[in-house]
Amino acid sequence: EQQEKWVPRAVNMEIIGTYAQTELGHGTFLRGLETTATYDPNTEEFVLNSPTLTAYKWWPGGLAHTANHCVVVAQLHSKGVNHGVHPFIVQIRDEDTHMPLPGVKVGEIGPKLSFSTANNGFLGFDNFRVPRDSMLMKNAQVLKDGTYVKSRLSKLTYGTMVFIRVMIVTDMAYYLSVGATIAIRYSAVRHQSKPKENEPEPQILDYVTQQHKLFIALASSHAFRVTGQWLWTTFVRVNKALTSGNADTLPELHAVACCLKAVTTRDAASMVEACRMSCGGHGYMTSSYLPILYGITTAACTYEGENTVLLLQTARSLVKAWQKGSKGKPLSPTEAYLMDKSPVPKWENTLDGIIAGFRRVSAGKVQDCVSKIDKLVKMGTSYEDAWNQTSVRLVAASEAHSRAVILATFRAEVSRAAAALSPPLARVLHQLVHLYTVYWALERVGDLLLYTSIAERDVQELQQQYEDLLQKIRPNTVGLVDAFDLRDEILNSTLGAYDGRVYERLMEEALKSPLNAEPVNQSFHKYLKPFMQGKL
Ligand SMILES: CCCCCCCCCCCCC/C=C/C(=O)SCCNC(=O)CCNC(=O)[C@H](O)C(C)(C)COP(=O)(O)OP(=O)(O)OC[C@H]1O[C@@H](n2cnc3c(N)ncnc32)[C@H](O)[C@@H]1OP(=O)(O)O
Ligand SMILES: Cc1cc2nc3c(=O)[nH]c(=O)nc-3n(C[C@H](O)[C@H](O)[C@H](O)COP(=O)(O)OP(=O)(O)OC[C@H]3O[C@@H](n4cnc5c(N)ncnc54)[C@H](O)[C@@H]3O)c2cc1C
């Protein structure tokens, strides 16, 4: 019924909405949100209030001057009892005049690192009344007399965030394809230095260090696209089960969505930054689009759940899985490897060997965390303090788990798809899987030395494998980014345009600057000249 009322109007854009959950005082800790929605049975309305400055909603995208409705997450009070945070759909502006409604204070939060078009806003309520059916009642309800009907699963309120986290993994694949396209095309056009006096300046793409900076971004885009597809399929399956009242698989989805969102956004932000830096000064131009792209990807490390907080959510699930598995209980498919108690096998420098190695690292780290927490608790430390003192290791265990999931999914999905591909295309995709896997083995070699039987000669061989792969992938690099098929209008980059006219585009963009409208800018007459004449 509520969906019939709101969805059609949202689909045809009569309603422009946003998700108003975060407040000035709380973004992570949702149970600490201060906005209140108090039910008045006499009028069958909720009264919304922002009791403090820190209760003001702060950050919601589009809230400042665009949205006329929003989903407000507030502490629901009825019959004198606080039932915790619940979502409400609330009209905040007049649909004709767009004026804020009486009792609503709304505005722009000011300049940000990037996301300048997101129109993030603030929102405060002063005894603002909304009808009872503003409470989104799919999970919990408040009856006309104020009786609260509990949701069968309180965490279903948090479901929106799981959905967006799932989507963000695929988003990161896209952003990395943009960064890799810009930086690799530029690296094919840019010639610099003279390592061989009697030869012309080479393309910077031929420097192995440049390949090391860029090819991982290219491979990660494919790894995250494939993992994002797997995660979406998992989300659809869990959501279908939830619809029929079965929430058994929701905890696993929450845990894997948290760590994949955290790891893919962190990797995307750092790899886009590497793409920017690999383009030298021109990568620092706004017209290259790389600084804007960095601003967009780094924001994802914060929004939809701050990365550390999400990695700790996954760690919470891994520790619980370890404790469950140690009692012989079955674990979820993504966490079942934690109970592999077989002896550490002889190390193999193969994809399967490395994936198995990362699973050993994750299981080893989880076991170390459980042991440390148990030891601290036995010494009289509270569980909460023991958790906090172990939290650096818990985050590392979560990251290792996430990497194991990405490596295994990337390899399995490409192997599955390869049968339907032409041999040359299958070969190139396998090279990207190989590069991605060996890159991370080398990045985390310390963990592998701690938890597997990898030896020094294996590491040397992996380094050589990696350098050979850079050489093998080089001839196909421009073709691989062209295959992302990103139009110039989408790339929006002087460095990444398909025609490679980098220098002409840089100059064309520069000449558009208003500061180039006249040969002598007014600042000379207003400031420089008086200063030079000692008059300032
Ligand atoms: C077509 C759409 C395309 C979209 C494409 C993507 C677009 C991306 C562009 C986005 C632009 C920016 C938009 C940004 C929006 C936002 O940022 S919205 C706000 C996001 N905010 C958050 O994510 C807040 C993070 N905080 C929390 O989630 C919670 O506070 C917490 C950290 C999980 C802690 O909550 P708490 O109640 O204290 O829980 P715990 O005690 O830690 O755990 C209790 C149990 O609940 C389980 N659980 C927690 N969360 C969930 C969940 N989401 N789903 C399922 N289960 C959950 C948790 O595992 C615990 O379980 P047990 O261990 O069994 O007790
Ligand atoms: C570009 C952008 C768009 C956004 N859009 C929206 C939106 O549309 N709607 C919306 O509701 N919100 C939005 N947000 C807000 C976003 O969801 C929050 O910023 C995010 O949830 C983090 O919360 P916080 O800002 O309170 O950070 P905090 O939680 O205060 O984090 C600060 C530090 O504290 C640490 N920390 C916090 N809790 C713990 C813990 N339990 N254990 C260990 N460390 C901890 C964090 O790791 C972090 O290092 C947006 C934010 C950004 C940047």
pLDDT digits (tens, 9 = 90+) for 40-76: 999 999 999 999 999 999 999 999 999 999 999 999 9
Residues in the ligand 1 pocket, defined by CB under 6 Å? 19, 21-22, 28-31, 61, 155, 158, 161-162, 164, 167-168, 171, 250-251, 254, 303-305, 309, 313, 316, 320
**CA-CA distance, 479 to 92, in Å (whole number)?**
49
Lowest mean pLDDT among 1-15, 358-372, 408-422: 1-15
Beta carbons within 10 angstroms of residue 178's beta carbon: 26
Tens digits of per-residue pLDDT, 115-133?
888 999 999 999 999 999 9
**Within 13 A of 321's CA, how many CA atoms are on the CB side?**
28
170-180 mean pLDDT: 98
Distance from residue 301's CA to the centre of ligand 1 (Å): 14
Q: Given a cut of 80, is residue 476 above it in pLDDT?
A: yes
Distance from residue 261's CA to the centre of ligand 2 (Å): 14
Q: Which ligand is nearest to the CA of 228?
A: 1
Distance from residue 496's CA to the centre of ligand 1 (Å): 36
**Helices 351-378 and 307-326 sit at what angle, rounded to 10 degrees?**
80
Q: Given a cut of 70, is residue 292 above it in pLDDT?
A: yes
**CA-CA distance, 494 to 503, in Å (whole number)?**
8
Beta carbons within 10 angstroms of residue 7's beta carbon: 11
SS3 305: coil
Tens digits of per-residue pLDDT, 505-517?
999 999 999 999 9
Determine the residue of 224, 254, 260, 261 to mutate for testing ligand 1's pocket, defined as the one with the most ligand atoms within 8 A of the Cβ atom. 254
The 3 state secondary structure assigned to 333-372 is CCCHHHHCCCCCCCCCCCHHHHHHHHHHHHHHHHHHHHHH
Which residues lie across from 149 on neighbouring strands? Answer: 141
277-301 mean pLDDT: 98
Q: How confident is the model at residue 250 (pLDDT cuts 50, 70, 90)?
A: very high
- DSSP-H helix ranges across 379-422: 383-418
- Look over the chain and give the mean of its residue pLDDT values, rounded to a whole number: 96
**What local confidence, expressed as pLDDT, does residue 536 receive?**
67
Are 149 and 135 spatial neighbours (Cβ–Cβ below 8 Å)?
A: no
Q: Given a cut of 70, is residue 369 above it in pLDDT?
A: yes
**CA-CA distance, 163 to 173, in Å (whole number)?**
17
**CA-CA distance, 390 to 263, in Å (whole number)?**
20
Beta carbons within 10 angstroms of residue 471's beta carbon: 10
Q: Given a cut of 80, is residue 156 above it in pLDDT?
A: no
**CA-CA distance, 404 to 409, in Å (whole number)?**
8
Determine the residue of 106, 175, 306 to mutate for testing ligand 2's pocket, defined as the one with the most ligand atoms within 8 A of the Cβ atom. 306
Distance from residue 307's CA to the centre of ligand 2 (Å): 9
Percent of the chain with pLDDT over 90: 93
**Would you please indicate which residues are annotated as catalytic (active-site) residues?**
304
Q: Given a cut of 90, is residue 32 above it in pLDDT?
A: yes
Tokens of 232: 């979406």
Q: Given a cut of 90, is residue 158 above it in pLDDT?
A: no
Q: Is the complex ipTM more than 0.95?
A: yes
Tracing tokens 């969505």 back to the chain, one arrives at 257
Which residues lie across from 46 on neighbouring strands? Answer: 39, 130
Q: How confident is the model at residue 422 (pLDDT cuts 50, 70, 90)?
A: very high
